[in-house]
Amino acid sequence: MRSILYFLFIAIHATGFSQSIRGKVEDTNHQALIGATVRELGTTNGAVTDINGRFQLELSQQQGQLLISYTGYLADTVVAVLGKEAHYQLEQDTRYLQEVVVKGETTFMDDLEAKHVEVITASELTKAACCNLSESFETNASVNVSFSDAVTGAKTIQMLGLAGKYVQINRENVPHIRGLNNRYGLGFVPGTWIQSIDVGKGAGTVVNGYESMTGQINLEFKKPEQSERWYFNAYGNSFGRLEFNVNHATDLTDKWSTAVLFHADWMDSEIDGNDDGFLDLPRSRQINVMNRYKYQGDRVNSQIGVHFMTDQKAGGQLGFGFGDDFATSPVYGFSNRTNRFEVFGKTGLLYPHKPYMGWGFIYSLAYQDMEGGYGRNNYDGEETTVYGNAIYQNIIGSTFHQYKTGVSILYDDFAENFADSAFSRREIVPGAYFEYTYLPGDKFTLVAGIRSDLHNLYGTYVTPRLHLRYQLNDRTTLRASAGRGYRTPNAIMENSNVLVSSRRLSILEEPEPEVSWNMGGSLVTGFEMGDREVSVVADYFYTTFENQLIYDLERASELRIYNLEGSSYAHSFQVEAAYPLNDYLKLKAAYKFYDVRATINGELQEVPFNSRHRFFANASYATKYDKWTADVTLHWYGSQRLPSTLDKPTEFQRPQRSEAYPHVIAQVSRGFRWGSIYLGSENLFNFTQDNPIIDAENPFGEQFDAAMVWGPIAGRLVYAGIRYKIK
Amino acid sequence: MRAIVVMAIMIASSQVGWSQKAPIEIAGGYQVEIMTSAICELCKETIERELTFTKGVKESDLNVESRVVTVKYNPKKTSPKEIRRHIAGVGYHADNVDRDATAYEKLPFCCKDGSHGREILDRSH
C-alpha cells in the first residue's frame, strides 16, 4: 500500500515537471553578482541572486533554459545544469550602452544565507527619493526611523526595539556609522550613492568585529564597474531644501575603473510650522565627495577610495543662522560643523582554479571632527579611527566544510567636550577570529564563529556567534541565531538630543563597555492565494544586556548616566506578509511588537520613547518598465512611555504616555528613456506633535526641554526631483 | 534532424509569408502587428521597453516565437510608420524598415543574427 502511494506520488510529480536547481552568478573574475535576474525561458519563472550571487529556481520544463541578466553585463541564455550548484559567468558589457531589462525584485530575502538578511536594492531605494540613509529604510518594516528632538533634526534608526547604536552599520564591510558619527551619521550618507543595503537581524558575523548587538546593516556603494556613466539627480522640497547629486563612472584602462560620487545640499529657510519660535528643522548645508578606484586583474582585485565631507547645521530659535555664535547670540542657537576625511580600500587575492580559496584585506583610515554648541554650551568632538581586517578563506577536505579566519586591528582615538565635562580615550584592539560553515547540501547550513579581542582598556572580549538555517521545503526556511556583542558608549554624543534642554548632565560613574546577548529565530514561508503567492516572514528576537550605559531622564532637571544595575532586555516580534495583487500592484503589511524594559531609576520599567505596537503597510504600483510607479507607505506608531515630568511645575508637566500616530509617505514617478521625474510627500497626513518644546519661551530658563519628542515636528513636506542617466 | 528542418521551414515560412499588416481599429485606438528580427527574451525587452517610452504607444507585446510585436496606439499621436522607425532605431528590422546598423552593433551577442540558432533570413525579397 505504502509503495503504491509512493508510486502515485512520483507519478503526480512527474506529470507536473518540477526540478529545483541552484547556481551562482558571477562575473569573469569570480565576483558574485548581487540581484542578477535569472529566468526560465518561455515561462514566468524567475529568481534574483542573493548577496552571494546565489539563486534557486524551480524549473517547470524538462530542458530548462535560463536567461541570466544583470545591468552592465551581457545577458546570456544557458542550459540549466541540474543536480549540482553550477556557476554561471556573465561577461561585462563594454559595448551595449543602453539599459536593458532588469525589473528585478526590489526587496528580497536571501534564501541560502544562514543569517536572516533582507536586501534592499537600488530600485527600492528610489521609492524614498530624499535624501540620505535615514530615509532609505522608509519602505522597510524591520528598520524604524525615529525623531530624536525638536532642534537638531537628527534622525536615528531602531531595530528590534533598541536604538540604532546597537546595530553595526558597515560600509562594504568596514564599520562605518559609529563613535562620533552615531547621532548624525545617517545624514552623511547620500541616498544616491547607495547600490544596495543588506539588513541582517540578530547576531552578525564575527568577521566584521564584536560590535553588532541587535543586527548588522551593510551598505554597498555604487561601484565603478557597475554604475551608469553619468547619473544626475536634482531635488527640491517645500521646506526650501535643494539637493544636487552627480555620479560618474568610467574605465581608465581595461583593468582600472573609477567612480566619482558627488553630493551637495542646501537649506537656509526658516520653517516653524508650530509657531513656537523654534525652527522645526535646522538650516543645513553639506558637500560630500567620494572618489573610488577599482583594479580588476586576473588574480588580484583591488579597490581604493577617498571620501571627504563637510556639513554644517544651524538651528534653534528663529533668527539663528550659519556662522552665528551660540555663546553670545541673543536667541537660543544650535550649531554643528562636521568634517570627515577617509581613505579606505580592499584587496583580494583569488585562486582561479580554487574558487573557494582566497585572501582579503580591508582597511580604513578616518578622521572626523565636530564643533558647535547647544544653547550656551559648547560641544566639540574629535575621532581618529584606523581599521584593518585580514581574512583568509578555504575549505577543509570538501566544500561541505568551509572556514574564514583572520586578524583585525581597531585603533580609535576619541575625545569629546561638553560645557565642563570632557571624555577622551584611546582604544587599541587587536583581534582574531575563526568562522566555520558546515554546508552539507542545500537544506541545511550551520555557521559557528568565535572571536577574541584584546582591548587595551577593558580586557579580553570573547564573542561567540552561531547561525543555523534549515530549509523545510521549497517555500519554508527556518533560521536561528545567537551571539554576544560589545560596544564602547560615548556618553555625550549619544545624548546630543538631550543637550537641547536645561537638564544638568550627571555622570554618576565611569562608563563601562556595553555587553549584550542576542538570540532569536525566523520563519520564511509562503502559500498560494489565487494564482499568486503570499510570502510571509515572521521573526522573534530577544536581546539582554550584561551591561548597558543607562541614560536616565526620569528626573526632569537632570540627565543621569550610570551603568546598568539590574536588568535590561528587549523582546521583539514581527510578522510581515507580501502579496502581488496583479502584475502591477503589490501589497505588503507588517505588525511589530516590542517589549523593551530596563532598570531605570531603581525600577524595572518600560524604556521611554518606544512604541510597543507598530503597523506598517505599503502599496506599490509599477507599470511595465517602470513608466509609471506609485508608492504609498503607512507607519503607525503606538503609544510610547514618556519620561516623568512630575517634578516640574504643573504647567510644564507632560502626559505619561504619548499619542499613537500615523506617518504616511507617498511618491509618484514617471519614467523616461533617460531617467525619471518624481513627486512625493512625507508626512502626508500632516501629523505633528503638539507643543513639542517645554517652555519654548524661555530657552535659557530652568524648565526648557526640547528633547521630549516622540513624533514628527515638521508638517507635510512635498518634494519633486529629476534623475537623468547617461549609460 | 527532421525536427530542425521542419522548424527551419516553419521559421522561414513565417517570415517569407509575412506581408505588412494594416492597422485595425480596436476599443480605444488602433492596433498593428509588426514583424521584427527579435530572436530572444532580451530582444523582446529591448523592443517593448523602447515602445513603452514612445509617444502614442499604449501597449506592446512581442511574441518571441513568431517575432511579431502587437502594438496598441493612439492614431492621433503616432502611426505604424513611426512605430517601425522606433523599432529599427534600437537595432531590429520592422516589416520593410531596415534596422539601424549602429544600434544593431551595440546589441548584446545573444541578440545578434545566428544566436540561439535563429538566423535572420535573407531580406532581399
Residue A123: what pLDDT?
80
Query: Smallest Cα–Cα separation from A511: which of A545, A454, A562, A567?
Result: A562
- Position A689 confidence tier, pLDDT thresholds 50, 70, 90: very high
Q: What is the rounded CA–CA span in Å between residue A57 and residue A303?
A: 33
- Region A173-180: mean pLDDT is 91
Q: What is the rounded CA–CA span in Å between residue B81 and residue B89?
A: 12
Q: Which residue of A has its CA nearest to B104?
A: A96
Question: Of A39, A75, A625, which is closest to B108 when you measure between CB atoms?
Answer: A75
Q: What is the rounded CA–CA span in Å between residue A319 and residue A382?
A: 29
Tell me which chain A residues have a C-beta less than 8 angstroms from the C-beta of B42.
Answer: 67, 69, 75, 100-101
B5 to chain A, any CB pair closer than 8 A? The answer is no
Q: What cell numbers appear for A282 in the block?
A: 535646522
Residue A61: what pLDDT?
66
Residues A636-676: pLDDT tens digits? 999 999 999 999 999 999 999 999 999 999 999 999 999 99
Q: Which residue of A has its CA nearest to B59?
A: A624
- Asked if A672 and A651 count as a contact pair (C-beta separation under 8 A), the reply is no
Q: Which residue of B has its CA nearest to A76?
A: B110
Distance, in angstroms, between B64 CA and closest chain A CA? 9
Determine whether the interchain pair A624/B52 forms a contact, defined as Cβ–Cβ distance below 8 Å: yes
Determine whether the interchain pair B53/A76 forms a contact, defined as Cβ–Cβ distance below 8 Å: no
Query: What does A253-311 look like in DSSP terms, one character per residue?
Result: SSSEEEEEEEEEEEE-----TT-SSB-SS-EEEEEEEEEEEEEE-SSEEEEEEEEEEEE
The helix or strand, by DSSP H or E, that contains position A162, with its residue range, turns out to be strand A162-163
Determine whether the interchain pair A98/B46 forms a contact, defined as Cβ–Cβ distance below 8 Å: yes
**Which amino acid, one-letter code, is at A209?**
G
Cβ-in-10-Å burial (0-12, 13-18, 19+) of A701 comes to exposed
Q: Which residue of A has its CA nearest to B110?
A: A76
Determine whether the interchain pair B53/A673 forms a contact, defined as Cβ–Cβ distance below 8 Å: yes
Determine whether the interchain pair A75/B106 forms a contact, defined as Cβ–Cβ distance below 8 Å: no
| Weakest-pLDDT range from A513-527, A628-642, B1-15 | B1-15
Residues A26-43: pLDDT tens digits? 877 777 887 788 887 766
- Asked if A409 and A433 count as a contact pair (C-beta separation under 8 A), the reply is no
Determine whether the interchain pair A625/B46 forms a contact, defined as Cβ–Cβ distance below 8 Å: no
Tell me which chain A residues have a C-beta less than 8 angstroms from the C-beta of B50.
Answer: 673
Kind of pairing between the strands at A532-547 and A514-529: antiparallel
Q: Which residue of B has its CA nearest to A39?
A: B41
Determine whether the interchain pair A77/B105 forms a contact, defined as Cβ–Cβ distance below 8 Å: no
Q: What is the rounded CA–CA span in Å between residue A197 and residue A588?
A: 19
Residue A8 has pLDDT above 60, yes or no: no
Residue A299: what pLDDT?
87
Residue A93: what pLDDT?
57
* Helical packing angle, B80-89 and B41-52, nearest 10°: 130
Question: Of A39, A76, A96, which is closest to B106 when you measure between CB atoms?
Answer: A96
Q: What is the rounded CA–CA span in Å between residue A593 and residue A606?
A: 13
Residue A12: what pLDDT?
36
Backbone angles phi, psi at A97, to 5 degrees: -100, 0
B45 to chain A, any CB pair closer than 8 A? The answer is yes
**Which amino acid, one-letter code, is at A702?**
E
Q: Which residue of A has its CA nearest to B116?
A: A77
B74 to chain A, any CB pair closer than 8 A? The answer is no
B52 to chain A, any CB pair closer than 8 A? The answer is yes
The CA–CA distances, whole Å, from A707 to A365, A499, A608, A692, A719 equal 34, 8, 12, 8, 27
Determine whether the interchain pair A76/B110 forms a contact, defined as Cβ–Cβ distance below 8 Å: yes
Tell me which chain A residues have a C-beta less than 8 angstroms from the C-beta of B46.
Answer: 98, 100
Q: What is the rounded CA–CA span in Å between residue B30 and residue A396?
A: 66
Q: What cell numbers appear for A542 in the block?
A: 530577544
- Asked if A719 and A129 count as a contact pair (C-beta separation under 8 A), the reply is yes
Q: Which residue of B has its CA nearest to A671?
A: B53
Average pLDDT along chain A: 89
Q: What is the rounded CA–CA span in Å between residue A261 and residue A426?
A: 32
Determine whether the interchain pair B106/A74 forms a contact, defined as Cβ–Cβ distance below 8 Å: no
The CA–CA distances, whole Å, from A588 to A377, A535, A577, B110 equal 46, 9, 6, 36
Place of cell 526590489: A106
Cβ contacts below 8 Å, chain A against chain B, sum to 48
Residue A80 has pLDDT above 80, yes or no: no
Q: What is the rounded CA–CA span in Å between residue A221 and residue A244?
A: 17
Query: Smallest Cα–Cα separation from A432: which of A400, A403, A381, A391?
Result: A391
According to DSSP, residue A495 is labeled G
B49 to chain A, any CB pair closer than 8 A? The answer is yes
- Asked if A405 and A435 count as a contact pair (C-beta separation under 8 A), the reply is yes
Show which residues on chain A lie within 8 Å of chain B, measured between beta carbons. Answer: 39, 41, 67, 69, 74-77, 93, 95-101, 624-625, 627, 671-673
- Asked if A195 and A168 count as a contact pair (C-beta separation under 8 A), the reply is no
Q: Which residue of B has its CA nearest to A673?
A: B53
Residue A304 has pLDDT above 60, yes or no: yes
Tell me which chain A residues have a C-beta less than 8 angstroms from the C-beta of B41.
Answer: 39, 41, 67, 77
Distance, in angstroms, between A696 CA and closest chain B CA? 53
Residues B6-60: pLDDT tens digits? 555 444 444 556 778 889 999 889 999 999 999 888 899 899 999 999 999 999 9
Question: Of A75, A97, A673, which is closest to B110 when you measure between CB atoms?
Answer: A75
Q: What is the rounded CA–CA span in Å between residue A267 and residue A218?
A: 29
B47 to chain A, any CB pair closer than 8 A? The answer is no
B105 to chain A, any CB pair closer than 8 A? The answer is yes
Determine whether the interchain pair B49/A671 forms a contact, defined as Cβ–Cβ distance below 8 Å: no
B9: helix, strand or coil? helix
Residues A617-631: pLDDT tens digits? 999 999 988 899 999
Cβ-in-10-Å burial (0-12, 13-18, 19+) of A373 comes to buried
